Amino acid sequence: MSTDPTPSGGRDATVRTVWVTGAGSGVGRAVAVSAARAGARVVLTGRRPDALAGTASLVRDAGGEVLELPADTGRDDQLQEAWATLQQTWGDPTDLVLSAGLNHPRRYWRDQTMADFRAIVDTNLTAAALVVDLALPALRAAGGGVVVFVSSVSGWQFSPDAGVAYSASKTAVGSLAAHLNAQENRHGVRACAVCPGDIDSDFLSLRPVVPGAGDRVAMLSPDDVARTVQFVLDSPPHVCVNELVVTPTKRDPAPR
């Protein structure tokens, strides 16, 4: 665990504290940097301490304060330990961005294993529910906050090649967001399921056939999705963005 030297021991109403899971790479990393540029303190959680350290360096370069809390989001005990450390160090988060995700090249009924199925559902769905469950009393007590679930376009419409476990878990994430809004909007808690299409990130390595450079050039970048998430985070308290679907166009993008 690594932290910048600004512990508060309780929520500072003047400072936004965004807890990002899956923060070691891809969309989670891009969201962490975006939130820091917007003036938030950023809490990073992910399985790989070295990857979190890389994200933390980028957050500092963006002028942000950062707290690294390595944890396997598929492990309840590790997430609960991360939550306890956050409480002791910075207090309550103001917002959550749940970006941890998992898939497997063997993702069809013909070749998947139930062990892989459970691991994917635990990471994509159960871990997201647990983080919300840990933070929700604090969000209610503070009068609200934003919860962003980084889902997938395969959770918005059926995608046969996304995988049985992945599609099922990401579809269920949309239900988590809908239930939060139905039950917690009156407490100021606002949830959004952000459903991106193809993203050029390390996650592509988990496909049965890894896309080549020619396919990747027309995909979204993690920064594209981070801008969408930041829009949700920056929406005023009386606005609830329930769901956003973001897909690449079929034209060549501007140089990145």
Contact yes or no for 147/96 (Cβ under 8 A): yes
For residues 185 and 240, the answer to whether their CB atoms sit within 8 Å is yes
Within a domain: residue 196?
yes
Does 157 map to a domain?
yes
Residue 210: inside a domain:
yes
In a domain, 255, yes or no: no
Q: In this structure, how many other beta carbons lie within 10 angstroms of the beta carbon of residue 4?
A: 16
pLDDT (tens digit, 0 to 9) for every residue of the chain, 256 residues total?
555 544 444 555 578 999 999 999 999 999 999 999 999 999 999 999 999 999 999 999 999 999 999 999 989 999 999 999 999 999 999 999 999 999 888 989 999 999 999 999 999 999 999 999 999 999 999 999 999 999 999 889 888 888 999 999 999 999 999 999 999 999 999 999 999 988 776 655 666 555 566 666 778 899 999 999 999 999 999 999 999 999 998 655 554 4
Sign of the Cα torsion 136, 140, 142, 143 reads positive
Here the tokens at position 136 are 């929700």
In a domain, 47, yes or no: yes
Distance of CA 235 to the CA centre of its chain: 17
Q: Three-state DSSP class for 98? A: strand
CATH of the domain at 89: 3.40.50.720
Contact 44, 52 (CB under 8 A): yes
Write the DSSP symbol of residue 1.
-
Q: What is the pTM of this model?
A: 0.89
pLDDT of residue 65: 97
Task: Domain count for the chain, please give it.
Answer: 1
Q: List, in sequence order, every residue forming a beta bridge with 77; answer none if it has no partner.
A: none
Those residues whose C-beta lies under 8 Å from the C-beta of residue 75, and which sit 6 or more positions away, are none
Q: Are 61 and 80 in contact (CB under 8 A)?
A: no
Residue 253 located in a structural domain: no
Stated as kind and residue range, the H or E segment containing 88 is: helix 76-89
Range of the domain at 74: 2-246
User: Of 184, 192, 179, which Cα lies nearest the Cα of 229?
Assistant: 192
Residue 213: inside a domain, yes or no? yes
Structure token digits, residue 162: 């996304």
Considering just the CA atoms, what is the radius of gyration of the chain in Å? 17
